[in-house]
Amino acid sequence: MAFAPIAVENSHYATVDIPLTFFILLAFLSIVRIIGEGSKRSYILSGCLIGLASSVKYTAGLLIIPLLTAFIIRCKISSFNWIEIKKLLLAYVTALVSFLITTPYSIFDFNNFKEDLLYISGHVRGTHGVLFKEEPSGFIYHIQTSLSSGLTVYIEVLSIIAIAYIIIESILRRSERISSNLILLSWILPYYFVIGSWGNLFPRYVIPLLPFLLITVAYLLHRLSLFTHILLRSRIQLAQESFANAFLLIFTLALLINPITASLKIDQSFLKNDTRQTSLEWIDKNIPENSIIFREYYTPEVELLGKYLVNNFDIKLADISKENIIEADYLIISSGVYDRYYRKPEVSRKEIAFYEYLNKNLQLLKEFKPDKSTKGPTIKIYLNGELKDSPLLNSYEIGNYSNFYVSKGLIEIADDSISLQGKGFVGWKYFLRGDERFINIIHKENNIFGLLIATKKEGGGFMNTQSWIISDVRKVKPLNLEEGWVKTSIPLPATLKGIVKIKIFKQDDKRLAIIRSIGFE
């Protein structure tokens, strides 16, 4: 297990699968002791560890199947009676109590717990966007991809052969080994069935299987060494047992060559610089403070610098419309996201069109690619500067109304009280810093096309513009509106609350907006 490549790699990440596997092994060790001891203590400890493992990740709840299997085997060894049944029930109750203690909000906030559980259930059945679309079923995919990367091909093949051998051996009901066979299969088969039925096919899902698959391989090698010993007994007169042991040792060491090599390469890769860190350092030095940055997953976490207004999209920037690109000074994308769509163009036309639009209409300011000394995805940083003629202006047409107000983060038409939420900057999330307040204005040739009102709570954090107030406006100097797309940031004093009044005017047959005055509540 120490050289299983996928386990080595994920040990560097803050994902749950490694600690999950640890608690599963602890629980399984206690469950196995039930077969030999059958003591109340073993049942209680097993239940407690099952609850702990399930708190790490809910899939560990499948350990109730090995627990039941151990109970049945124990009853065959001793006797099936009410005392043994009470021990089993005690183990299940202990598992539930242990889970509730370590997951208290499953009680205190049951509604959210239920909603999150339903969300997770739906999420794992999905395909994670296009990432796993057009892939074979999980039962095939994990054999083709996950287990081969997790164990390397030779060990994976041996594990499949070993499981088949164990199943056949169990069907033949060889009593001296059926208990250990059944207890292993009671975890391997149900767990693989569950993750194989999911649409989400991340390779790390197989990590809790690896120790058990390696045990089956070890068992198969042991049986092969015994077979070799028997085969050679009549042909070699000396040291048959030593020869069999030597065969087992050499074969095992040969199997470890690929996993060790792969694991060393993985560890070596973590000694390299990462494109996200390199690009973050470049951004810190080269992008002006208070810039508005849109970024997607697998890009540098620029909000940690505490000097930018950052919109962190949950998966991809392509979720936003082209019209709203105008709101950002800079856009950052990652091959960790866009490569997913270029690999599957038939189901990704919208996303590919978006990334092509960026390449065509925005200036690629800097690109960071992995090389011999740097790992990570390709990071592209775009400057949203000289936009070409485009229909972007159309999204900022106001309509046939005389004026409207921006108040408490909502855009409303004063005459008819029509909400324009979702237009312009309304509804975006930004990371703000300090106790500062800004009005960021997009304009061209003295025409205002949009506003971003930003009020940041002390200590930082994400806030939704829909709850922001244009606050503390007392003295604002006239804006110097230059030609081209410009964003002007106006610091506001931390005193009074106010609203911005905007006057509509007509230009080129379009209804546009310009700041007319600033008033106070």
pLDDT in tens, 196-251: 999 888 899 999 999 999 999 999 988 887 777 666 665 555 555 666 677 778 88
DSSP 382: E
Instruction: Kindly report which listed range (51-55, 129-133, 251-255) carries the lowest average pLDDT score.
Output: 129-133
pTM greater than 0.85: no
Instruction: State which amino acid sits at residue 345.
Output: P
Residue 330 has pLDDT above 80, yes or no: yes
Rounded Cα gap, residues 212 and 330, in angstroms: 49
377's tokens: 């995805």
Q: How many Cβ atoms from other residues are within 10 Å of residue 65's Cβ?
A: 16
Which residues contact residue 176 at a Cβ distance below 8 angstroms, ignoring those fewer than 6 apart? none
Which among 438, 429, 352, 426 has a CA at the least distance from the CA of 396?
Answer: 426
Q: Which residues lie closer than 8 Å to 231 by C-beta, 6 or more apart? A: none
| Bridge partners, residue 295, by sequence | 312, 332
Element (H, E) at 411: strand 410-413
Structure tokens at 231: 């085969």
Length of the chain counted residue by residue: 521
Q: Which of 21, 14, 11, 6 is nearest to 262 (CA)?
A: 6
For the stretch 246-264, what's the b/e string if a residue is b when 16 or more beta carbons lie within 10 angstroms of its beta carbon?
ebbeeeeeebeebbbebbe
Please provide the average confidence, as pLDDT, over all residues in the chain. Answer: 73
CA distances to 130, 134, 374, 387 from 127, in Å: 6, 9, 30, 35
pLDDT, tens only, 26-62? 999 999 999 988 899 999 999 999 999 999 999 999 9
Residue 373: C-alpha distances to residues 7, 146, 263, 266, 280 (Å): 24, 27, 18, 14, 17
Q: Residue 447's pLDDT band (boundaries 50, 70, 90)? A: very low
- Residue 244: what pLDDT? 67
pLDDT score for 327? 62
- For 467, residues 6+ apart whose C-beta sits below 8 A from its C-beta are 408, 409
Q: Report residue 1's pLDDT band, with 50, 70 and 90 as the boundaries.
A: confident
Is residue 505 pLDDT above 80, yes or no? no
Per-position b or e across 353-368, b if 16+ CB within 10 A of its CB: ebbeebeebbeebbeb
Q: Which residues pair with 461 in a beta bridge?
A: 432
